[in-house]
Amino acid sequence: MRTNISTIAAIAAGGLVLSRLRIPLGRLAAFAALGYGGGMLLSERFKKRPGYDGNVEESIDLNVPVSTAYNQWTQFEEFPKFMASVEEVKQIDDTHLHWRANVAGKTKEWDAEITEQIPDERIAWHSTGGVRNAGVVTFHRISDSRTRVMLQLDYQPETGTEKLGDAFGGVKLATRGNLKRFKELVEQRGRETGAWRGTVQH
């Protein structure tokens, strides 16, 4: 069985410009986690979905087999080990999640649904209530021991602080940081902590 999800989020978005503006970096970066909270099948070309103001695309190469990278990503309860700001994520069933995170200094909650999941290939999701967001993560075999993870997030900034952070690239930096920490987590361990190999196709 899949483990229950509990927590996620974003790493601080930096930048000299932001510091001069005296804007708390953590508040700007926090809502990068939003993309993880929903579930929606996105285009293979990672095109921005209508109705979402923000869009981020990032990728990273891991020195582990594709099955290891994918299996670890399905262990949602482990997300807090490489992401910040998410306070709690609960898995209701195989395709439905409830999230609570600190977004731009405020606690927000939302429900999410996984709409597509193909082992060793992709997981897609979108929010069904609360903060609007969607995303897809894909896994690409480079060699028997090397994998590229590609992540796209579509989100709807709600407050002025969130929009300003997005304008200065806060979400992009936060997402990049999250992927780097995921890489470190998986490579240091060398194997996944668990796996859910079921298929979801809506």
Q: What is the pLDDT of residues 26-41, one digit of tens each?
A: 444 444 444 444 333 3
Classify residue 198: in a domain, yes or no.
Answer: no
At 164, is the pLDDT very low, low, confident or very high (cuts 50, 70, 90)?
A: low
Classify residue 147: in a domain, yes or no.
Answer: yes
Task: Give the per-residue pLDDT at 51.
Answer: 63
Classify residue 7: in a domain, yes or no.
Answer: no
Classify residue 120: in a domain, yes or no.
Answer: yes
How many residues are present in the chain? 202
Say whether pLDDT at 184 is over 80: yes
Q: Could you tell me which residues come within 8 angstroms of residue 141 by beta carbon, excluding any fewer than 6 positions away?
A: 65, 66, 120, 147
Classify residue 84: in a domain, yes or no.
Answer: yes
Residue 67 token pair: 């099955």
Distance CA 161, CA 154 (A): 17
pTM: 0.73
Tokens 């995303």, residue located: 135
CATH number where 184 lies: 3.30.530.20
Decide if 21 contacts 95 (C-beta within 8 A): no
Count: domains in the chain: 1
Classify residue 6: in a domain, yes or no.
Answer: no
At 47, is the pLDDT very low, low, confident or very high (cuts 50, 70, 90)?
A: low
Going by C-alpha positions, the residue among 139, 165, 142 that lies closest to residue 151 is 139
CA distances, 86 to each of 100, 129, 149, 179 (Å)? 6, 17, 21, 15
Classify residue 150: in a domain, yes or no.
Answer: yes
Distance CA 193, CA 68 (A): 9
Structural domain range at position 129: 16-192
Task: Give the per-residue pLDDT at 30.
Answer: 45
Q: Dihedral of the CA atoms 148, 120, 125, 105 (nearest 10)?
A: -50
Classify residue 46: in a domain, yes or no.
Answer: yes
Decide if 157 contacts 31 (C-beta within 8 A): yes
- Percentage of residues of the chain with pLDDT beyond 90: 42
CA angle 163, 167, 171 (to 5 degrees): 80
